[in-house]
Chains A and B, each alone.
Chain A
Amino acid sequence: MNLDELVELAHAAQPSALEAGQARRTARRIQREYKHATAMGHSLIEDLELRDPLTIDSDEAARITRAAQMAKLGTFTWTCGETGHMSWSDEMSMILGYAPGAVQPSAELLFNLIHEEDHDDFREAIKHSWQQRSVRQITCRVVRPDGIVRHMHCHIEVLVTEDGQPSGIIGTGQDVTNRELARREMERLKRRCETVLTVLADREPDTCLLTRRRFLDEIDRALRAGSGALLVLSVETAGESHPQTTPGGTARAVMNEQLVGSVAALVTNLVSRGDMCGRVGANEIGVLMHNAPTRLARATAEAVLETLRSQEFLVRHSRVRAQAWGGLVRYSARTEADSLDLLVDAESAWRRAKARGAALKVLTEPAPAAERRDTCRGRILTAIQDNRFTLYAQPILDLNLNQVTRHEILLRLLDDTNAPVAPAGFLDIAERVDEILAIDMMVLDRALLLIAEGPETAHYHVNLSGRSLGDDRLLRHVDDQIRRLNVDAGQLTFEITETAVIGNMTEARRFAHSVRELGCQLALDDFGSGYGSFTYLKYFPIDLVKIDGDFISKICTTKVDQVMVRSVVDICAALGIRTIAEFAEDAPTVDLLRGYGIEFAQGYAIGKPAPIAQSRTVSSLALPTLGERSAKRDIPRSAAG
């Protein structure tokens, strides 16, 4: 059906009986209301003209101006002739910011009042309207004499004389500032709804447990209000512990990971609904029982442990039993300990239970600070003495050369079953009791050895704790080692986190400049995720920025990430800072990153972290007094890279 047929058919429409009835009722209602209004003395047409709009008015400009006035719109009329004559209505005068009659209208004044950036469009609209003998509409800004900017919407029409000759143009304008603001706000809200990611990545994808960091937040929140108990469960597959089952114990780590997954599901079901479960360590699950009285918390802990110990779990296609220990610590409003303290106490408690052959150890209050400190020191020194560290290296791809040119050295801790695990919790504690320097130094020594033994093109990244930055011993030590081993300092990059920089800006800057003097490079790790700001890029001699994996892992499908990463790359490029993207997990991501001009990529798409071969030289090398290995703040997920 074409348009004419449609119009014709529509015109033949007759009201149905129902509609006719409705029309009659409406007509009666209108009569009633009219009588009521007249009785009250109201006029219903005071805002209207009575003249017949169908009578032909030879003066178009006057007619349109009149209509505009009734609609509270302003008009300007620009007639042609020898000189051309500009006039505008009172309403228009007010839109332009002048009291009616205050200025002599002129085309020049009008154009001057239009915002500079809208000038061309406004002029174009008038010109086009005139040339095409047609109507144009435009929204432009008016800059009033007092400097205030308003948005004006204008219809620009061509006037004709009675015999059809164009005689000028008329603009009908309206102050649409409020409407314009509302429109922009709607657009902004729409865009914001599309771009804001409502789900904070605060749970582990596989176990649905809160991440360690978020779980610590929850403990802190609980500590501020009321009392309760924190339970930390440690699980491992039963059976004789397999010292060095495989080189590096990787198989064991996979088994434990699967076990923790199954245990997590079970524990989440067993505890009360309000309790929170988090992944606090490689083989540890934390349960925060806020407001639970001691007896209930203890009963819950016992029930959970009983179930875990009696149940079989499916791990690597076979049924296994789990060994489990629990440490329970009570807290109350009087507790002075913070979340990490409480976690350390609960961890120490399950270790004590394990040492005594019990399932559960309950602490009715957090340990005294001194005692806790000693316990932590002891754990760290034991780990160092027993050499319970191992180093992994993850390749970094140069996206321009399409070649792996660097490696990041990652620290792994051997757990009680000799499986290598990410040492996030361990490093937290080491930082807390100021034992992190020994660990950082150990990793540095290993990296320098790798450089000394490897090709000159090799380049290693080493993570440093914020604590170590402020210690002069670290750089002195590095300086000594560089000379002793005769290595090129340019083959080493230090990665520091934004959080570390925040800790002490002065120290961090001094460190950064010293690193430069040594000839090493400096990278800012996890950029964009912490409390970082562009300040660091401005004041720190950073060579490289590592964009946090949270912006990279889903970048192919997430517009927000794309926008942010692109702008970080732009900023860095302009400042002479190189960029690395971590968590590059597939080929399309790598292609996208390369397209953005990012220089390096790291992640599963490039290569997983792999154990560094323990060369004879390395293992036999005398390490500095403080100990053994070292480095990365990586949280469980970045076991993924």
Chain B
Amino acid sequence: MSVAGVAKQAQHYRPGRPLGSPDAIEAEFAAFCERNLSRVRNFLRGQCRDPEIVEDALQETFLAAREAWPKIREYDEPMGWVYNAARYKLRKQLERARRDLSIEDVPAEQIVQPSDAREAQETLVGLLSRLPVRQAQVFFLATEGFAENQIAGILGIARNTVHAYRYQARHALQQLLAGERPQTSAGE
């Protein structure tokens, strides 16, 4: 069976269903991976501007997700677990590279008006990468449709904090879009 065929078949699986053969599990995960790879990549790119570190963290994340798959496939939304894992894996990669997010100097960039959806996505990721990391995480997850208490769970922070960051991130992004340099807010 072709890979595409497996992926197609895999889409019929629903989380929570009893496990089939190892092949079926593999196919189910492959489909999950293909669907969500770029979302997680964008999540990471919003926090880290080094593409190599992002790719390494991305791979580590999905390797972990593969191992955890028999368990997390049963969750209502396995992506919550994946984003949580991605956060730790990125942290690990940064430590390994002896890099620190907060030290890097982000040069100001000209914001180009996006003309299509792809460009809009690139613009948004670019803007997020200029925010404090925790604000970028909160805003990204919010656009992915997670509720504030879910985001609090994924990021391991207080609900109150999610609410504050969401507001701060919004404000900073609006300033960036208007071509202003956002003022560092007291919170972050």
Contacts and interface: CB of A to CB of B under 8 A. Distances in A.
Contacts of A166: 160
Contact of B37 (A27, A31, A38, A60): A27
B177 A135 contact: no
Contacts of B165: 135
A50 B82 CA distance: 10
A132 B107 CA distance: 32
Interface stretch (A3-11, A583-591, A595-603): A3-11
Interface in A490-507: none
B33 to A, nearest CB: 4
B93 to A, nearest CB: 12
Nearest to B162: A135
A43 B67 CA distance: 8
A40 interface: no
Nearest to B164: A134
B29 A31 contact: yes
B103 A9 contact: no
A15 interface: yes
Interface in A21-50: 23-24, 26-31, 33-34, 37-38, 43-45, 47-48, 50
Given A34-B63, A37-B63, A179-B102, A10 B124 contact: yes
Nearest to B145: A11
Contacts of A28: 3, 30
Contacts of A19: 38
Interface string B61-94: 0111011100110011100110011001001100
B84 A60 contact: no
Given A1-B113, A3-B170, A128-B186, A54 B63 contact: no
A53 B158 contact: no
A486 B132 CA distance: 78
Contacts of A67: 155-157
A34 B66 contact: yes
Contacts of A158: 158, 160-161
* Most chain A beta-carbon contacts within 10 A, residue among B3, B117, B165: B117
Given A27-B33, A30-B33, A50 B68 contact: yes
Nearest to B34: A23
A48 B160 CA distance: 25
A67 to B, nearest CB: 2
A140 B114 CA distance: 42
A405 interface: no
A153 to B, nearest CB: 9
Interface residues of A, number: 65
A64 interface: yes
A628 interface: no
A459 B92 CA distance: 73
A201 interface: no
Contacts of A63: 152-153, 156
A66 B156 contact: yes
Contacts of B60: 44
A179 B26 contact: no
A45 B164 contact: no
Contacts of B155: 67
B91 A71 contact: yes
Contacts of B143: 7, 10-11
A31 to B, nearest CB: 6
A338 B98 CA distance: 53
B64 A48 contact: yes
B30 A60 contact: no
A266 B159 CA distance: 79
B120 A157 contact: no
Contact of A50 (B72, B91, B114, B118): B72
A2 interface: yes
Given A31-B26, A160-B160, A182-B103, A10 B80 contact: no
Interface string B145-174: 010011011111111110011000010011
B170 to A, nearest CB: 7
A68 interface: yes
A30 B63 contact: yes
A151 B92 CA distance: 21
A13 interface: yes
Contacts of A172: 157
A160 to B, nearest CB: 6
A9 B120 contact: yes
A170 interface: yes
A179 B94 CA distance: 13
B41 to A, nearest CB: 9
B188 interface: yes
Contacts of B102: 179
A3 B177 contact: yes
A368 B102 CA distance: 69
B5 interface: no
Interface of A: 1-3, 6-7, 9-16, 19-20, 23-24, 26-31, 33-34, 37-38, 43-45, 47-48, 50, 52-57, 60, 63-64, 66-68, 70-71, 128, 133-137, 155, 157-160, 166, 170, 172, 179, 182-183, 186
Interface of B: 3-4, 7, 26, 29-30, 33-34, 37-38, 59-60, 62-64, 66-68, 71-72, 75-77, 80-81, 84-85, 88, 91-92, 100, 102-103, 113-114, 116-118, 120-121, 123-124, 134, 143, 146, 149-150, 152-161, 164-165, 170, 173-174, 177, 186-188
Given A10-B121, A26-B59, A71-B91, 19 more contacts: A1-B114, A1-B177, A7-B124, A9-B117, A10-B123, A13-B120, A23-B34, A26-B62, A27-B62, A53-B150, A53-B156, A54-B75, A63-B153, A67-B156, A135-B160, A135-B161, A135-B164, A166-B160, A172-B157
10 contacts: A2-B174, A15-B38, A26-B62, A53-B153, A54-B75, A54-B153, A71-B156, A135-B164, A158-B160, A159-B158
